[in-house]
Chains A and B, each alone.
Chain A
């Protein structure tokens, strides 16, 4: 009879510190941007975020203050000095929560800038980078549609 509580107590003490194999201290490497790109130097803020269920991608739209003001105005008419950036990732299952998907492999960055133009319409430049190294693509196919899409997005409510 004497040993019983001690044995049980030891059992309880032992078991309290075993448990769980959750990965610890890990960065999301696949989704990270190449440090050499210096994305944060653009000084942009999050405007909104998207999911495409068919393509299993997720994207975050960033903008500078001008782009944000223009998007909030909702006119779709671009002003000179806007910068918009759309980062797109393939999704992956969240390793820590069954029921969620998080960014996986970095897929692309679209970068739009407006500058002084002519006849009251700003000039728009559009750059397209792909892959984990964000290599710039030269082809211009579909560019006008992407510019129109980027300029048409409404910011998410961020009180």
Chain B
């Protein structure tokens, strides 16, 4: 009976095709061979299905993985990404590997050769670190920061229409009165950040009840360009964005219990074309799932 069903489902094969490779990922051989071996089956148009992958229902799952994997990261269309996005994807990739989130465990169980060793991780880390260059700020960067500062009028009344993200979350101006629970120097992308927590977050920190964070917790993370001088003193330059995570395990159950939003530039332009922009946030925060999807280790004042 089960056998018949098993044979039966073998005929249900949604197609999994390999579209053309339009601009393959370029990197030193040592780096590229690790990525090809461990990631290309799901993150390129050169998927190589072994016989056991072709057996349903495994096939269905594999096909889904390849579809989702390619959507977020495709090494075969790599050259169509702007250089800054390529770099960001590589740092993200290395971090997903370090956290044990990639390659997917269910895949390496069946394909042990795709496992990424500690030695491989060291090679990848060294490579991405070599891409991070944070030189002293040039005139263009300094001018952009100055111009932005001059146009910024902190006293001015907020615009009548509050910006709203595609998932319905509105910009919250009050974050500036929240407490700073951490700061980060991001040498991967040349930004610096302050992470603010609202009163609920601060109380949770004091009570040491931060996993999960209580409903009502709100975080705001602000990112600026780094402006470095020749002595290595760095201060914030142009404001890039403010991002929010608002905790409500009922209301935001579909997005891991958090309401996500990002507003870019001092004009606070909502990020994302549709409410689906949150998948991007969640995927990168996914390795922190045992920590309620939060990266920051907060400090208390």
Tell me the A residues contacting B by CB distance below 8 Å: 1-2, 4-6, 8-9, 11-12, 15-16, 18-28, 31-33, 35, 39-40, 45-46, 48-54, 58, 60, 72, 91, 94-103, 154-159
Q: Are A22 and B290 touching (Cβ within 8 A)?
A: yes
The reply to whether A103 and B176 form a contact with Cβ atoms under 8 Å apart is no
Which residue in chain A gives the minimum CB-CB distance to B266?
A: A159
Nearest A residue to B222 via CB reads A158
Say whether A72 contacts B2, CB under 8 Å.
no
| 28 pairs, CB–CB < 8 Å, chain A vs chain B | A2-B6, A5-B57, A5-B58, A6-B2, A9-B57, A15-B109, A16-B105, A19-B105, A21-B100, A23-B291, A27-B208, A27-B297, A28-B298, A31-B182, A45-B177, A46-B180, A49-B192, A49-B194, A53-B228, A94-B295, A97-B184, A98-B125, A99-B187, A99-B189, A100-B187, A103-B183, A156-B236, A159-B239
Knowing A50-B234, A60-B183, A102-B184 touch, does A24 contact B290 (C-beta < 8 A)?
yes
Name the A residues within 8 Å of B234 (CB-CB): 50-53
| Least CB separation from A59: chain B residue | B183
B170 to chain A: closest CB distance in Å? 14
Q: How far is the CA of A53 from the CA of B55 in the complex (A)?
A: 54
Q: How many Å lie between the Cα of A97 and that of B222 in the bound state?
A: 17
Interface size on B, residues (CB 8 A): 73
Q: Which chain A residue has the least Cβ–Cβ distance from B231?
A: A54
- Measured CA separation A8–B52 after assembly (Å): 10
- B295 near A103 with CB under 8 A, answer no
B210 touches A27 (CB 8 A): yes
Residue of A nearest to B1 (CB): A2
Taken together as a complex, chains A and B put the C-alpha atoms of A54 and B230 apart, in Å, by 10
- Inside 8 A of A21's CB, which chain B residues have their CB? 100
Indicate if the CB atoms of A25 and B210 lie closer than 8 Å: yes
* Interface membership of chain B positions 130-163, coded 1 if the CB is closer than 8 angstroms to chain A and 0 otherwise: 0010000000000000001100101000000000
Contact A2 B2 (CB under 8 A): yes
State whether A4 and B152 are in contact (beta carbons under 8 Å apart), knowing that A54-B232, A159-B268 are contacts in the complex. no
What's the least CB distance linking B92 to chain A, in Å?
9
The answer to whether B187 touches A101, judged by C-beta atoms less than 8 angstroms apart, is yes
> Residues of A contacting B58 with CB < 8 Å?
5, 8, 12
Query: Is A32 touching B211 in the complex (CB atoms < 8 A)?
Result: no
Q: Would A100 and B100 count as touching, CB distance under 8 A?
A: no
C-alpha gap A69/B61 in the complex (Å) = 59
Q: Are B297 and A102 in contact (CB under 8 A)?
A: yes
- Find out whether the CB atom of B192 lies under 8 angstroms from the CB atom of A51: yes
- Contact yes or no, A97 B100, CB < 8 A: no
Q: Report which of B99, B106, B125, B296 forms a contact with A11, defined as CB distance below 8 A.
A: B106
Q: Are A60 and B100 in contact (CB under 8 A)?
A: no
Interface contact A157-B180, CB-CB below 8 Å = no
Instruction: With both chains docked as a complex, state the minimum distance between the C-beta of B193 and any C-beta of chain A, in angstroms.
Output: 8
The CA-CA distance from A27 to B154 in the complex, in Å, is 32
Contact between chains at A39 and B211 (CB < 8 Å): no
Give Cα distance in the complex from A39 to B12, angstroms: 64
Known: A40-B202, A54-B232. 6 other contacts (CB 8 A): A11-B110, A27-B299, A33-B301, A40-B179, A60-B180, A99-B189
Q: Are A157 and B149 in contact (CB under 8 A)?
A: yes
Determine how close the nearest CB of chain B comes to the CB of A86; give it in whole angstroms: 13
Instruction: Judge whether A12 and B180 touch: CB under 8 Å.
Output: no
Contact of A15 among B105, B125, B183, B296 (CB under 8 A): B105
Cβ < 8 Å to A, chain B residues 216-275: 222, 224, 226, 228, 231-236, 238-239, 242, 266, 268
Min Cβ gap B255→A in Å is 20
**Is there contact, CB below 8 Å, between B100 and A157?**
no
A100:B186 contact, CB within 8 angstroms: yes
What A residues does B290 contact at CB under 8 A?
20, 22, 24
